Structure formats: C-alpha cells, structure tokens
Chains A and B, each alone.
Chain A
Amino acid sequence: GDSVTQMEGPVTLSEEAFLTINCTYTATGYPSLFWYVQYPGEGLQLLLKATKADDKGSNKGFEATYRKETTSFHLEKGSVQVSDSAVYFCALRSGNTPLVFGKGTRLSVIA
C-alpha cells in the first residue's frame, strides 16, 4: 500500500538556520503530496501541497517540490524562527483514499 517515510526527529536548530526535512513516498499512481504542521497543543494545519510532478508548494517561507523521479517531497525553509517549532507531517493521497501520514518530525528552534 501507499506509505510515507520522513526523517526521524527531533531536529534542533538555531534561529535563522536552514531547514530541510526529508520525505519520500511509495504510491501507486500519481498521488497528491502535503505537508501538515502541528504546533504544541494544537491540531493539524495544512502547510503546503503539490498535486503533480515538479509542482512547488510554498507557504510562510516553507517550500517543497514534488519530485517524481526520486519520489520525494522534502520540506525546506531558508531561515527558521522560534515560532516554527512544531511537529511536521508529510502526507500523500491517491485518488479517493484518505491521507496517509509519515510519522512526523519534531522541530525545535532555539534563540
């Protein structure tokens, strides 16, 4: 079945550092890809998405590019802030199936 693998956390960075969280997927067909974010004590929020190969999703300074050839959707941000501390989930969806999530990566940004 479909699956998502993302890098194990936790990731700890200093403010203004560059962030990469790796995500790779296995799916039949051509899934849509998502990054969701969960801030401490809160629910899941959609951060960005891409629906076809070579699409780039972006929001709040975060970016991810749908790479079909490497089945990847890595999340990047050029300069993280303390307020970016959260758990980040990579997810995919094929057709009418529900979202399949990765295990989440906890990011802690220190001032």
Chain B
Amino acid sequence: DTAVSQTPKYLVTQMGNDKSIKCEQNLGHDTMYWYKQDSKKFLKIMFSYNNKELIINETVPNRFSPKSPDKAHLNLHINSLELGDSAVYFCASSLTPGGNTIYFGEGSWLTVV
C-alpha cells in the first residue's frame, strides 16, 4: 500500500480554471505538508498542517487554499489558475511537526495552458 498517495498524478488545465489535488496518508502521522517543485527542480514548502490545524503558511498566493478534513488528508485547492502555477506539487507527512523523517507522495504534475 502506498504510504502517501496523491491524485491526480497528471493534470492539464486552462488558465482561469479552479482545480484540486487530493492527498491521503495511511501512516498514522499527525503532520502533513504541501511542497512545490518548480521547473528548475527547486523544492519549497507551501503549507503544513498538524492534526487538521494550519501551522505553516509560507508566502503563497491566496488562490491556494489547503483543506484538511481529518489528519489523514490534506487537499490543495487552487483558484484562477495561472501559467506560473505549472509545477509538480508534492504532498508529504511526518509523525509529528518535529518528526524526523518526512515521507513524500509521488507528486502531481500540474500544467496550466
């Protein structure tokens, strides 16, 4: 069973659309994250949730809204998509906010055209 799973893996959509990426972890972890990897492969934290509560919110446009219905799920909704949103989005989880090892999903390749 995949520990951190995210869907969809590939998403091509037009500018201005609204889309969501879903993430689920079956590791029993309390903490979940969204990272963005740009075209140059640079990875940067976007959000972190602990037990459904937002604990880290980096400088990310308001068009990005994470939602955590329970501690095993952290979904990412993006409004009014722009060309610059094209990237790979990685969901991740760790046992606690200070939990040593962070486990990543396989990534969601978003292309905005």
Contacts and interface: CB of A to CB of B under 8 A. Distances in A.
Interface residues of B, number: 23
B40 A99 contact: no
Interface in B93-109: 96-98, 100-107
Q: What size tier do the contact residues of chain A reach? A: 20 to 34
Chain A interface mostly: strand
B98 A95 contact: yes
A77 interface: no
Interface string B14-54: 00000000000000000001010000111111001000000
Interface string B71-108: 00000000000000000001010001110111111110
Given A44-B90, A96-B98, A101 B103 contact: no
Contacts of B105: 43
Nearest to A89: B43
Interface of A: 32, 34, 36, 38, 42-46, 49, 51, 87, 89, 93, 95-96, 98-101, 103-104, 106
